Amino acid sequence: MSNVLVETKNLKKYFPHRLGMVHAVDDVSLTIREGETLGVVGESGCGKSTLGRAILRLHEPTSGDVLYDGKSIIGLKSREFRPFQTKMQMVFQDPYSSLDPRMSVFDLVADPLRICKTVPKAQLPEKVSETMELCGLPATYNNVYPHEMDGGRRQRVGLARALVLDPKFIVCDEPVSALDVSIQAQILNLLMDMQEQRKLAYMFITHDLCVVRHISNDIMVMYMGQVVEYAKKEEIFAHQAHPYTKALLSAIPTTDLSRRNRERHVLKGEVSNPINPKPGCRFAPRCPYATAKCSEPQPLVEIAPNHFVACHECSKG
């Protein structure tokens, strides 16, 4: 088994709100190994992006710890943190809003190198060209601007900007959600090729379970800032236990006729904001199996080797 590269321990990120505190990420502990992908799934607003940003310290965590290669990066001063910053990058959902429209492709890819100074100035053009080429952007794109490209090409630029720093870990925050289906596969394949070549670790955030099935080793399901289920991908797809995971999975369209009549767990209602949440299960207002016991805290329990679920009903022996 490869080395653990990124870990969080009881990570929390709360935002102040006029009605109290938004518990956007609430006590999340996870592990990502070198060369592997953790898929993070859940409906919009469940805290996926905040988790990714807190790991990279784009949001300073409220409490808890983040370890990179066994070393805590929380509390490091900016000079001490800089070497870790280049190793941990992010690819965003909407490449258009994350790219400066006044910069050419060459300058956009060179920009992180100019800021972080990870290669000598003389080697910068070669490093940029090599990374662009790797991401399917030949030299003819050097003087092209973001508005002159389609979404797929812009996402290639977003990926090149991350890869040019030779990171070991990338948070991919819904990197294909805004793209046409035909282009999604190209970008996913590029991400997977890069992972294989460079032993990259990914945290892949998505609400699309088909994508997560394609790309992940492990899957973490989040609901209102908390982890409700966490296991190997195969285990989640074969033996999902939490009612919320079941509802998410049963919503996946299938062409398999034998599975067409499978039990459906339709989700009713919407996720509410996790402002000053009560101690019990946050899924209870939407859960068809809720009982009085669900108003007690629901810790993650290991129901099978490395399969964790936060629901007393699922963890009964």
Ligand X SMILES: Nc1ncnc2c1ncn2[C@@H]1O[C@H](COP(=O)(O)OP(=O)(O)O)[C@@H](O)[C@H]1O
Footprint of Mg ion on this chain (CB under 5 A)?
49
Spatial CA neighbour of 62 closest among 19, 17, 10: 10
CA 201 distance to own-chain centroid: 11
Nearer to ligand SF4 (CB atom), residue 93 or residue 298? 298
Q: 3-class SS at 288?
A: coil
Strands (E), 34-136: 37-41, 63-68, 71-72, 88-91
Nearer to Mg ion (CB atom), residue 25 or residue 236? 25
Q: Tokens representing 260?
A: 């067409």
Q: CA-CA distance, 78 to 71, in Å (whole number)?
A: 15
Q: Residue 15 interacts with ligand X (CB under 6 A)?
A: yes
Q: 3-class SS at 204?
A: strand
Which residues 226-285 are close enough to bind ligand X by CB under 6 A? 273
Q: According to CB under 6 A, which one of 5, 11, 22, 41 is a site residue for ligand X?
A: 22
DSSP state, residue 259: G
- For residue 93, the minimal CB distance to ligand X (Å) is 9
Nearer to ligand SF4 (CB atom), residue 88 or residue 311? 311
Binding pattern for the stretch 42-81 against ligand X, x by CB under 6 A and - elsewhere: x-xxxxxxx-------------------------------
- For residue 261, the minimal CB distance to ligand SF4 (Å) is 24
The answer to whether the CB of 152 falls within 8 A of the CB of 189 is no
Nearer to ligand X (CB atom), residue 24 or residue 309? 24
- For residue 222, the minimal CB distance to Mg ion (Å) is 11
- For residue 263, the minimal CB distance to ligand SF4 (Å) is 16
- φ, ψ for residue 211, nearest 5 deg: -65, -45
- For residue 166, the minimal CB distance to Mg ion (Å) is 26
Query: How far, CA to CA in Å, does 61 sit from each of 10, 51, 197?
Result: 10, 9, 32
For the chain, the farthest-separated pair of C-alpha atoms sits apart, in whole angstroms, at 67
Q: According to CB under 6 A, which one of 64, 243, 247, 303 is a site residue for ligand SF4?
A: 243
- For residue 204, the minimal CB distance to ligand X (Å) is 13
- Choose the one of ligand X, ligand SF4, Mg ion, none that binds residue 233, judging by a C-beta under 5 to 8 angstroms depending on kind: none
Q: According to CB under 6 A, which one of 5, 187, 294, 303 is a site residue for ligand SF4?
A: 294
Q: CA-CA distance, 287 to 230, in Å (whole number)?
A: 19
Q: Residue 303 interacts with ligand SF4 (CB under 6 A)?
A: no
Bridge partners of 91, per DSSP, are: 172
Q: According to CB under 6 A, which one of 281, 303, 307, 308 is a site residue for ligand SF4?
A: 281
